[in-house]
């Protein structure tokens, strides 16, 4: 295991967990994150690169139930690792094994190669800085599912996530660690489509990826 830095768990991401906890009947005081703060906005010491690190402070039966549910459901949470209680490290290993199907840079390379060929065939002026940024972005994170990576006509790389049946979120890599992040959704109760987007720094990406968001 290598220490790679720190991750920040956002309120938004924690909201993703809230639903899970609610379903499991887990009450808030039993679950704490990293250094603990009321709004979960504290930094967590990174333990595994590209893996989310949660800490259950009080190992209770409820926590254990949550742990088991997450691990069998290994889906949305890439890895939950318990660090405060030695006994639970056994679970850590189990979960790592069950959630081993991470989509990382090595998984993405075949798609990036295909897109490079498309750029050549179609005369698209591929933005090398955009390519460098998307490789950095994927390499710094692990994703539980295959990413939908595209090449835009302007040469930039683009990734889109489904946030639900009526909502999608995308990142266009503009190069120089700058991104355009966009959310498109059908407004509830109508068929109107709403778009919100902003250009921001690569490091500030905090939107959920399959309910989990980490920002370095």
Partner 1 sequence: MSGDPIPDSDEVAKYLSPSKYNGAKLNWYALTPRESDNGENSCFWMDYFAGSSAEEQLTQIRATCGLDRRPNGRFAELNVDRVRKAILEGVGLSTTFTHEPIGTNVSHSVMRGISHDNEAAGFILNRCVIAFHSATEAAWPARY
Q: Which residues contribute to the site for partner 1 (CB under 8 A)?
A: 111, 114-115, 118-119, 121-122, 124, 146, 148-154, 158, 160, 162, 168, 170, 182, 184, 186, 190-195
Rounded to a whole number of angstroms, the minimum distance from the CB of residue 150 to partner 1 is 4
Question: Are 71 and 92 contacting, i.e. CB atoms less than 8 angstroms apart?
Answer: no
Question: Sign (positive/negative) of CA torsion 51, 182, 40, 165?
Answer: negative
Residue 93 vs 193, nearer CB to partner 1: 193
Q: Tokens 């798609």, residue?
A: 111
- The residue (of 29 and 123) whose beta carbon lies closer to partner 1 is 123
Query: For partner 1, which is the closer residue by CB, 100 or 165?
Result: 165
Query: Least separation, in Å, of the C-beta of 173 and partner 1?
Result: 13
Query: Min. distance of Cβ 160 from partner 1 in angstroms?
Result: 7
Shortest separation between residue 111's beta carbon and partner 1, angstroms: 7
CA distance 77 to 71: 8
What distance in Å separates the CA atoms of residue 66 and residue 17, rounded to the nearest whole number? Answer: 11
Q: Which is nearer to partner 1, 18 or 152 (CB)?
A: 152
Alpha helices in the chain (DSSP H): 11-24, 61-72, 89-98, 105-122, 128-139
Three-state secondary-structure class, residue 36: coil
């Amino acid at each position: 295991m290598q220490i790679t830095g720190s991750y920040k768990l956002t309120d938004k991401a924690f909201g993703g967990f809230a639903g899970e906890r609610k379903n499991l009947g887990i009450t808030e005081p039993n679950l704490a994150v990293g250094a603990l703060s009321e709004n979960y906005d504290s930094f967590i010491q990174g333990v595994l690169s590209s893996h989310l690190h949660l800490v259950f402070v009080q190992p209770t039966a409820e926590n254990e139930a949550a742990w088991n549910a997450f691990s069998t459901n290994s889906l949305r949470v890439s890895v939950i690792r318990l660090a405060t209680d030695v006994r639970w490290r056994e679970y850590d290993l189990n979960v790592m094994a069950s959630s081993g199907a991470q989509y990382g840079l090595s998984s993405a390379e075949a798609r990036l190669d295909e897109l490079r060929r498309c750029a050549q065939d179609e005369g698209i002026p591929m933005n090398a800085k955009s390519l460098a940024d998307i490789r950095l972005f994927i390499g710094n994170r692990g994703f539980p599912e295959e990413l939908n990576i595209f090449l835009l006509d302007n040469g930039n790389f683009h990734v889109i996530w489904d946030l639900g049946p009526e909502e999608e979120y995308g990142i266009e890599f503009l190069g120089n660690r700058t991104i355009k992040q966009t959310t498109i959704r059908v407004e509830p109760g109508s068929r109107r489509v709403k778009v919100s987007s902003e250009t921001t720094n690569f490091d500030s990406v905090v939107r959920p990826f399959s309910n989990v968001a980490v920002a370095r």
